[in-house]
Structure 1
Amino acid sequence: MQLIDAHQHYWCVDRGDYIWLHDAPVSLQRDYLPIDLQAQRSAAGVAGSVLVQAAASEAETRYLFELARTDRSILGVVGWVDFEAPDVAARIHTLARDGDGLLLGLRPMAQDHPDPDWLARPELDAAFDSLQAHDLAFDALVRPPQLPALQRRLRRERELRVVLDHAGKPDIAHGHFDAWAQPIRELAELPKLCCKFSGLLTELAPGAPTNALDPYVEHLFASFGPGRLIWGSDWPVLTLRDSYAHWLELARAFAQRHAPHALERIFSRNALAFYRPRRAPDFPASAGAPA
């Protein structure tokens, strides 16, 4: 089995539009580029990845296009536009055109919006209409207080392809399981919603053992099943807690426990079916991927 990493980032600090990095741990305040991950991805047997925006600017999305044009392992880009812009439809059209097949979806950084109901606002309707018109996916970057608004939005957008980033970012560090678990269960009733099996390690409290993830992972498998879970590394944010190889090993162990016959779906096929990249992954004849 060869792997697809459905969620990773690259950034170049000197570009200057990664506002969140100003308050991030020092270890993240440097460049993270393809050369920094190449050996780890190759050793893991990752044949392709989906590159996800890390800055709230169209300029950064275009920068990611340029990286993808020089690195065939990047299957496509989840970019950013201002969902409240009066000309949002034209912006999305232009970005999709300029990406020439590389734009797979869009992700507003909803987790940072002060209004927990922002995603349900009617002012965003034009953006969601345009997403669907261009057959683009929607990456929902939210925290538990925003899950109800996401649910209201998705009940109106029945044909939208949407994936919940990092399992909705449960507050694992403080053990707030119920506040996350109930809305996740309700959201999972929407058949077109997928969920990224990613970003969980960095929600742990410092020094907490990885088995603190057990009830959260169990709930994800029970709610979404292996047909709608999509593995991602969230590298380099992942490096705050662990290595690329060890998160992959841990994620595989979780999947082996809950869905032993569906590893290829979780770690490869689901990502390709959801994002529909035009660029085919270069699956090598042999690599160090888990069986």
Structure 2
Amino acid sequence: MEAKDTLFKKKTTLYCRGKILSLDLPRVMGILNVTPDSFFADSRLQSLDEVLKRAATMLADGADILDIGGYSSRPGAADISVQEELDRVVPAIEAIHAAYPNAIISIDTFRAQVAEAAVAAGAAIINDISGGNLDQNMHDTVAKLQVPYILMHMRGTPQTMATLAKYEDVVTEVLDELQLKVYSLRQLGIKDIILDPGFGFAKTIDHNFELLKRMDELRILGLPLLAGLSRKSMVYKSLGINQADALTGTIAVNTIALTKGADILRVHDVKEAKQTIQLYTKALL
């Protein structure tokens, strides 16, 4: 795997509630949506029994992280209250943490109050789609909790982001905006930061493919990279298919992401992502 890291030296470990997660090899984050309206219908889980069954399957398939989300971030998604989000995610995290205490759990939220409650319930990573833009308390909360923080690039809100997909150079502007956030996070003493370019968030399909093609340019910041490409519109709309048939396309774009330096693949289909990584790494050894 040395060929991937010869240009920029990056951080290769994450400290997750007493566990060290090495990023010497790419990792897989499995998506668990405790929502009724997430963009991929097959990822929606409505009961704790469904959550535990899906978690068990993902862990058996090799998931390194389970990402729990209770707020749909699809374009135009309905807003929900903090309490409703808490009611969705906290019981799910508590149940998974009790059943699988060694599992590394991530909370997918842009709300500091939800993030703090999730960590108290057993989450070890905060995955913030807004990069701190939607809750001014988020970065201070991450600093207080001292857990790894996934810093994603987005403009606006899930309800408005589609209107803000305007760039002269999408890669340069995403990099500049993330760099400013990284500096601020470092000033707060936050050590473990993962960058997510935010595929599909305030980006057109063309922007997404430009970001994918040049994702390795983000490595200049020396931080791990997460690619969230699973079954997104850039895949299924480009192929003229529906989301249910977008697994093959997802594997293709994930493979490209690995060649561009992705350290974590955030996916709905864990087994296929693990196999993709296995073959990718075997080709480089």
User: TM-score scaled by structure 2?
Assistant: 0.51
Question: Residues 1-291 of structure 1: matches in 2 within 5 Å?
Answer: 3-6=26-29, 8-11=31-34, 13=36, 21=37, 27=41, 30-31=44-45, 33=50, 35=53, 46-55=62-71, 56=82, 57-65=85-93, 66-71=95-100, 74-78=103-107, 80=109, 82-83=111-112, 95-99=118-122, 102-105=123-126, 107=128, 110=130, 118-119=134-135, 124-125=136-137, 127-140=138-151, 143-145=154-156, 176-178=166-168, 180-189=170-179, 190=182, 194-196=194-196, 199-200=199-200, 213-225=208-220, 227-232=223-228, 234=230, 240=243, 243-244=246-247, 246-256=249-259, 258-259=260-261, 266-267=263-264, 289-290=278-279, 291=281
Pair 41,243 (structure 1): closer, same or farther in 2 beyond 3 Å: farther
RMSD of Structure 2 on Structure 1 (CA): 5.0
Contact kept in structure 1, 2:153 and 2:198, CA below 8 Å: no
Query: SS of the residue aligned with 2:29?
Result: strand
Query: SS of the residue aligned with 2:173?
Result: helix
Contact kept in structure 2, 1:50 and 1:74, CA below 8 Å: yes
Query: What is the CA-CA distance between 1:25 and the residue it aligns to?
Result: 5.9
Contact kept in structure 2, 1:105 and 1:139, CA below 8 Å: yes
Contact kept in structure 1, 2:171 and 2:214, CA below 8 Å: yes
1:227-280, Cα deviation, whole Å (9 max, x unpaired): 531244657999837545642342223432x45xxx6xx248xx9xxxxxxxxx
Q: Quick one: distance in 2 between partners of 1:26 and 1:251?
A: 17
Pair 5,98 (structure 1): closer, same or farther in 2 beyond 3 Å: same
Query: SS of the residue aligned with 1:248?
Result: helix
Q: Quick one: distance in 1 between partners of 2:178 and 2:243?
A: 29
Query: What is the CA-CA distance between 1:132 and the residue it aligns to?
Result: 0.8
Q: Quick one: distance in 1 between partners of 2:156 and 2:133?
A: 9
Query: SS of the residue aligned with 1:31?
Result: coil
Which residues of structure 1 form unaligned runs of 5+?
14-20, 147-168, 206-210, 272-285
Contact kept in structure 2, 1:4 and 1:46, CA below 8 Å: no
1:166-224, Cα deviation, whole Å (9 max, x unpaired): xxx996x998442744431313434665322674599665xxxxx87442223332133
Query: SS of the residue aligned with 1:144?
Result: coil
Q: Quick one: distance in 1 between partners of 2:35 and 2:209?
A: 35
Contact kept in structure 2, 1:144 and 1:180, CA below 8 Å: no
Q: Quick one: distance in 1 between partners of 2:232 and 2:209?
A: 23
The percent of aligned pairs where both chains have the same amino acid is 3
Query: What is the CA-CA distance between 1:53 and the residue it aligns to?
Result: 1.8
Query: SS of the residue aligned with 2:106?
Result: strand
Pair 194,30 (structure 1): closer, same or farther in 2 beyond 3 Å: closer
User: TM-score scaled by structure 1?
Assistant: 0.50
